[in-house]
Structure 1
Amino acid sequence: MTKLNTMTDENPINETQQSGDSAASQGGDANGAAFEPLTASYERLRHSTDSAELSEFARRPLPDRSDQAAFSRATALLEAVAGNKHTPVEDRVFLASTMPFPNVLVKLSVDPEPSVRVAVAANEDDKNWLVGRLTKDPIPEVRDAALRNKRTSWKMRLEGAQDPAADSETLDYLGLLGTELEEGAPAVLSSMVRRAVALNPNTSADMMAKLAEDPSVEVRHAVESRR
């Protein structure tokens, strides 16, 4: 797997962002004010206790991608905002729900507020390894959201269907994969997930009735074994 070029606290700024920062700093901003270097802005936002400033930055429209330096700078600073616990929860949820950037989503995936992690788990711009990690979250709502995400691997879906702590709503969803949901899904993999649902003691009676009529003989046999 290609390693993502995400940012860390030790080295939050990549070379592209540094060069864009340097170019922009030569002329200052549009109002003629001194331009704050990206590293300084990142650290200031990362440690800020000004919730209003952090909220405003979280909701600020991103520059057009054609302005590579400004776009790269803005997305870098969003990581600092996302990782700051003084950013209001509703703004962290907003970022978790709408941002496609791995560096921002990774920060939010370890947020102490479960509602933020739920939003990350449901974000279909997640990388599959990140949403897969959230299928192991200690909070059931986070796990459920991750298992319903189309980015989740079949391996993680199978493990979710086998989980004795899985709730019936999530099992209802997994039990339809390859039949009523994602009809073009790989037949063998989807039937393995449905079979695991049939064997899970938390599966609802309604779902068991559906699986009793499943096109896969292995799934139907699993239902019969429960009777």
Structure 2
Amino acid sequence: MYPMTDQKTDEQQPAAEAEEAENFEPLTASYERLRHSTDSAELSEFARRPLPDRSDQAAFSRATALLEAVAGNRHTPVEDRVFLATTMPFPNVLVKLSEDPEPSVRQAVAANEDDKNWLVGRLTKDPVPAVRDHALRNKRTSWKMRLEGAQDPNADAETLDYLGVLGTELEEGAPAVLASMVRRAVALNPHTSAQMLQKLADDPSPEVRHAVAQRQ
């Protein structure tokens, strides 16, 4: 015979399940409620709430869908939007955050290495230099975007220092021709530091060394 405590739990189980079903909010209703909520505390709590285990596919999908609503709500505190932009791997959430009016949020998206390359590419064109720079230093950025970044006369020296060693000190297995084109563009960029130019003067690629010589 089972203990009384277990029997009581078994008897209460159907009632608990019925109450849970009665209080369950459809996904579309929850999404709209969170999307339009002005309750910053509720939005912050949801942003920081651990996701369900992936084995519970329905609950996991629901939670990630609702995070999109939280990410797109400007009443969600900035620090929580930055947290989501930094930690989330989900494209639907990151796309919302990539359009955020707060540059620090877009910068966090730009640095997120779970981004899709097209999303990082979009952020290499951001009007805020810090966002562009983080996007260009993201390993997800395409070589086309890296080349355009290296050619940008507004690129800062720190970003050019990063682009100037692609294929040599960083990403040594990178496509040689593409990496060389990026380093050559760095050599020709007016914002490239003297230290980087000195390093590029000894580059293994003749095209890069020739570009440095053109600067002298």
1:92 to partner: Cα distance: 0.2
Q: For 1:41 and 1:29, how far apart are their aligned partners in 2?
A: 20
Q: For 2:186 and 2:165, how far apart are their aligned partners in 1?
A: 10
- The answer for unaligned runs of 5 or more in structure 2 is 1-15
1:32 to partner: Cα distance: 5.8
More helix by percentage:
2
Q: Deviations over 1:135-184 (max 9, x none)?
A: 00000000000000000000000000000000000000000100001111
- The answer for unaligned runs of 5 or more in structure 1 is 1-26
Opposite residue 204 of structure 2, the aligned amino acid is P
2:42 is matched with 53
What count of residue pairs does the alignment treat as equivalent?
201
**1:131 aligned to 120, 126, 143, which one?**
120
1:31 to partner: Cα distance: 4.8
Identity of aligned residues (%): 86
1:215 equivalent to 2:191? Answer: no
1:185 is matched with 174
Contact 1:28 1:34 in 2 (8 A): no
1:30-179 aligned within 5 A = 31=20, 33-179=22-168
Q: Deviations over 1:3-48 (max 9, x none)?
A: xxxxxxxxxxxxxxxxxxxxxxxx9688565101110000000000
Q: For 1:85 and 1:172, how far apart are their aligned partners in 2?
A: 35
Counterpart secondary structure, 2:23 = coil
Q: For 2:19 and 2:49, how far apart are their aligned partners in 1?
A: 17
1:201 equivalent to 2:194? Answer: no
User: Are residues 95 and 67 of structure 1, via their aligned partners in 2, closer, same or farther at CA, if it must alter by over 3 Å?
Assistant: same
- Kindly report structure 1 stretches of 4+ aligned residues shifted beyond 3 Å: 27-33
1:23 is matched with none
Q: Deviations over 1:79-138 (max 9, x none)?
A: 000000000000000000000000000000000000000000000010000000000000
Q: For 2:172 and 2:134, how far apart are their aligned partners in 1?
A: 20
Q: Deviations over 1:24-75 (max 9, x none)?
A: xxx9688565101110000000000000000000000000000010000000
